[in-house]
Homo-oligomer: A and B are copies of this chain.
């Protein structure tokens, strides 16, 4: 047998058990608020954990086998899909989202930390179910950390082996023990930062329930809110600034954050991607502030805050909304559309292309001009003062080109499905980049509820594709993957 289906089944089983446990964790919330959802959550949790348990029980003996790369690709895609399927149960059982397409869209939008929603009246959904919705993002973020820091570098996806090779305790040999070790360290940071934000939001006067939800979805760069108006609901600058800070941290490479916790700030500043991220976000924030201030009648602090909030929210692919950027000026709408293609740091929970890839691309482009002048010289791209191999550069360029090709084709597909030009551009960019709000009729002031059913499935597929760095999913549909040698 080519694939080790037993271990794949075993790992999937474990994921479904975890899924079930997290569903049951929503019970206290449901019981406390008495808004319903208790029975649906118990049913969902038991179903997910039960199916997972059976799967695990029947295949558990193979759990210590080593995984091949091919198994790895299958597990990652099937894991995200399996979680998203099982994750629909609380919505369906509770009747909060009775339609299966909508429930799946909402769940995969959660697990991929996208944050696009079909809910038109969030406040009417039982609090226990909404808590599950926030948890899907938080779990998705945990999954991404493992994926980005431990699994993708081993699979050699899109240059990830380069960007996160500095992960503490990580040596690219065997999967099993390293993943556990690395993931544990980074999860402690993830949990710690979530708690820190929770406390700071409480201090700003947010309710315990809302503070919990928003800190869960910030750290995942997810962007699900418990309010229909998202963060614009809170007319409190302090809360805005706290969330800006934590969105920025969530978009930072978690291995760098780890160094930060250890007090090694020199190492953070030595990282080129971080420098570009910090300087880029601040300068873009200032440019947008000035544009917004010039075209609105608000005061400067408000313009600055909203501009900074939206720049950080879109670039980190969180998708929280403090103000509707599509109503600012056309130039700023264009700018925000472009921001959707940036993505924050590799090794963070952010989606999208990632800054380090743009950086490599830009450096390679400039060097190509130098190579034109000196055709005989071998001029490699350098990142963090190390030469980057031609293979990795080519891989990164291929990644970006495939990303854009998918964007282009998908926009045409959405057009054929029957949405207008701006909505097509915006919905595809935001789904593929795991951001949340798009443009046009899926802009910050709207939801995805009105998108036709085929469109919702298609966008769900794009979310998965973007979240798993394209290659992981695409490789499954190439003949190379299924050929025997």
Contacts and interface: CB of A to CB of B under 8 A. Distances in A.
Contacts of A334: 411-412, 415, 421, 424
B471 A369 contact: yes
A156 interface: yes
Q: How many copies of the polypeptide does the oligomer hold? A: 2
A147 interface: no
Nearest to A70: B373
B398 A364 contact: yes
A397 B390 contact: no
Contacts of A74: none
A202 interface: no
B408 A397 contact: no
A368 interface: yes
Contact of A365 (B332, B398, B416): B398
Interface stretch (A228-236, A310-318, A454-462, A475-483): A475-483
A129 interface: no
Contact of A424 (B330, B418, B474, B480): B330
A13 B365 CA distance: 34
Contacts of A399: 368
A375 interface: yes
Interface string A324-341: 000000111111011001
Main secondary structure, interface of A, reads helix
Contact of A155 (B70, B333, B372, B411): B372
Interface string A125-162: 00000000000000000000000000000011100000
A368 B397 CA distance: 10
Report, nearest first, the 10 A-B pairs whose CB atoms are least far apart.
A331-B415, A334-B415, A368-B398, A397-B397, A370-B480, A331-B416, A373-B480, A369-B478, A365-B402, A330-B420
6 contacts: A156-B375, A334-B421, A341-B408, A369-B475, A373-B481, A390-B390
Given A330-B420, A373-B478, 20 more contacts: A330-B418, A331-B416, A333-B415, A334-B415, A334-B421, A341-B408, A364-B394, A365-B405, A368-B395, A368-B398, A369-B478, A369-B480, A370-B478, A371-B395, A373-B481, A374-B480, A390-B394, A394-B397, A397-B398, A404-B404
Interface of A: 69-70, 155-157, 330-335, 337-338, 341, 361-362, 364-366, 368-375, 390-391, 393-395, 397-402, 404-405, 408, 411-412, 415-416, 418-422, 424, 471, 474-475, 478, 480-481
